[in-house]
Structure formats: C-alpha cells, structure tokens
C-alpha cells in the first residue's frame, strides 16, 4: 500500500512540480524546451499523416544505408548524440540508446554504453568544476540539501548506485544531481553509472526488435507466431523496464527514510531533497551565483 500511496502522491504532485521546474529554467533552457516540444509535435503529425509503417520503413532504410556506407562516422555520430543529450536540460538519452539497437542490434550496446559513461562523466566533471562556488554556497544555506549530502556520505556507494539506477530523476538530471552532491566522488559516480548498463542493454534489445518489425522484407518472411513473439518481446521489455524502475524508485525512497543512525528529521529532509532533485543547485537560476 505504501508504494501505491507514493505513486499517487507522485502523480498528483507532477503538475505543480513541472510548473515550478519550468519557472526555474534559464531563458535559453526554455527556448530549447519549446523547440523540443515543437519537434515532438511534428513527429506526431508525421506519424498520423504518413502512417507508422511508412515511417518505420523509411527510418530502417536510412539507418541501414548510413551504417553500411559510413560505419565509423555513424558510430561516432551516435556516440556524440548520446554525449550531447547527457547535458541538462536536454532529453532523449533513452531514445538515442534505443536507436543504437535499431541500427546495430545487440551490438549497439557497445556503442551506447561507453558513450553514456563518457557523457555522464563529462557532465559530472564539467558542472562540478564550473559551479563549485555555487555548490558550496547553496549547500551551506539549504537544510534539505545538507541532509541529502549527509545521508549519501553515510551510506556511500550502495545508496549512490540505487539512486543512479532509479528512473527518477531522469538521466540528465541525475548527472547534475550527483555533480551537485559534494560527498560523491568521480570514481563512485563512474561505478554507479556502470550499474545502469543492464537498463541500457534492455533498451538496445527493444530497439533491435523494433528494427526487425520495421523492415517490410523481414516482416514478410515472419510467420504469425514470430510476429507476435517479437511484439511480446517489445511489450515485455517495456513492461519490465517500467516495473523495475518503479520498484527501484520506491526502494530508494524507503531506504533514505530508514537509515540506521540518522535522525528521522534528517532522513525526511533527505527524502524531500531527492524528490526535488530536478531542482539541483547546478540547474536552478535562483541559486547563489558562481
């Protein structure tokens, strides 16, 4: 029941959190957000007008042609895209990883995983280096953030891995969150990010199955049972990702609120800071200046 109560609380608080998060964005971030919304809207319109089959075939044909004619360039391009979308407030990491599976099958994992690790480390190191004064000033005057740093420092790597694997905050905000927590070292962040590799492998697997169903020629050689099986693989993979993500998120919340040796007030403040992790001091415009 506590997990359902947490889910209900999260859903009900989403509108207010989204509005607050939008207001805290810098002007350039708001412009990027609206451009992203426009791009997604165009994709929806194209999906409705052209139809999913034609779009899937078009994407499959072009991805296959690019990966065949420019193998090194396509790998480099995909890697750079994953690194680029690791910077907040950009989005699209999961989509980029899935595209690796779409283009190279399960071999796409060996493109997506290293690029994700490099992108995360670049964001972590870059934000911490550029905004270390802001981080120091913010931590001194924010009780919730001090509590979160205390809890993470006390529990160490296991809790860092659990938070990293959790779907909330999303990839880009998780990068900024750990960069904002001074008690997290780079080596801990690297190990925790490696814990996300199974999730990346699952996303690559889903992309490979979507590619198989996107090509008309491959579909024509599949019997009904094979088509159904591929569809079940895709749906099952998505369901596993959703259920696992939710279980990890609720486990993190429970773990933070029940750490031995910590006062209930500190645990509660740390949990609140984790829930508001998209407002990490390195992302908000109202934090102390550098």
pLDDT of residue 290: 39
Residue 102 lies in a domain: yes
Residue 1 lies in a domain: no
Residue 95 lies in a domain: yes
Mean pLDDT of 151-160: 79
> In which domain, by residue range, is 143 found?
51-279
Please indicate, yes or no, whether the overall pTM of this predicted structure exceeds 0.75: no
Residues 97/114, Cβ–Cβ less than 8 Å: no
Spatial distance between the Cα atoms of 268 and 258, rounded to a whole number of angstroms? 9
pLDDT of residue 286: 47
Structure tokens at 215: 């090509």
Mean pLDDT of 241-245: 68
**287: confidence class by pLDDT, cuts 50, 70, 90:** very low
Residue 20 lies in a domain: no
- 250 or 154, greater pLDDT: 154
pLDDT of residue 48: 66
Mean pLDDT of 1-7: 54
Per-residue exposure over 152-173, b if at least 16 CB sit within 10 Å of its own CB, e if not: beebebebbbbbbbbbbbebbb
Structurally, how many domains does the chain consist of? 1
pLDDT of residue 1: 43
pLDDT of residue 5: 61
Residue 39 lies in a domain: no
If you average pLDDT over every residue of the chain, what do you get? 74
pLDDT of residue 65: 76
Residue 14 lies in a domain: no
pLDDT of residue 188: 92
Structure tokens at 175: 């990068």
Structure tokens at 24: 């805290």
Mean pLDDT of 79-96: 86
Residue listed under structure tokens 């910077």: 87
Residue 286 lies in a domain: no
Residue 21 lies in a domain: no
Cα torsion 178, 181, 186, 191: sign: negative
**285: confidence class by pLDDT, cuts 50, 70, 90:** very low
Mean pLDDT of 235-257: 68
């Amino acid at each position: 029941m506590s997990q359902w109560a947490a889910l209900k609380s999260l859903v009900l608080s989403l509108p207010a959190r989204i509005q607050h998060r939008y207001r805290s964005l810098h002007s350039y971030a708001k412009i990027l957000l609206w451009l992203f919304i426009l791009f997604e809207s165009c994709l929806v319109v194209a999906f409705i007008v052209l139809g999913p089959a034609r779009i899937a075939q078009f994407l499959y044909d072009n991805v296959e042609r690019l990966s065949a004619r420019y193998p090194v360039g396509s790998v480099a391009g995909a890697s750079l895209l994953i690194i680029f979308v690791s910077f907040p407030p950009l989005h699209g990491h999961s989509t980029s990883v899935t595209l690796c599976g779409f283009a190279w099958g399960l071999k796409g994992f060996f493109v997506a995983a290293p690029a994700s690790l490099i992108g995360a480390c670049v964001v972590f190191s870059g934000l911490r280096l550029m905004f270390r004064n802001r981080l120091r000033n913010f931590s001194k005057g924010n009780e919730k953030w001090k509590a979160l740093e205390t809890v993470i420092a006390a529990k160490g790597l296991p809790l860092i891995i659990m938070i990293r694997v959790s779907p909330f905050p999303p990839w880009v905000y998780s990068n900024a969150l750990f960069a904002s927590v001074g008690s997290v070292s780079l080596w801990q962040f690297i190990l925790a990010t490696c814990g996300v590799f199974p999730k990346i492998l699952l996303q690559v697997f889903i992309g490979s199955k979507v590619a198989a169903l996107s090509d008309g020629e491959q579909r024509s050689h599949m019997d009904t049972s094979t088509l159904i099986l591929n569809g079940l693989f895709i749906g099952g993979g998505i369901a596993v990702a959703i259920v696992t993500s939710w279980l990890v998120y609720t486990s993190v919340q429970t773990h933070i609120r029940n750490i031995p040796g910590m006062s209930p007030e500190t645990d509660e403040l740390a949990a609140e800071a984790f829930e508001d992790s998209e407002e990490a001091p390195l992302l908000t415009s109202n934090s102390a200046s550098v």
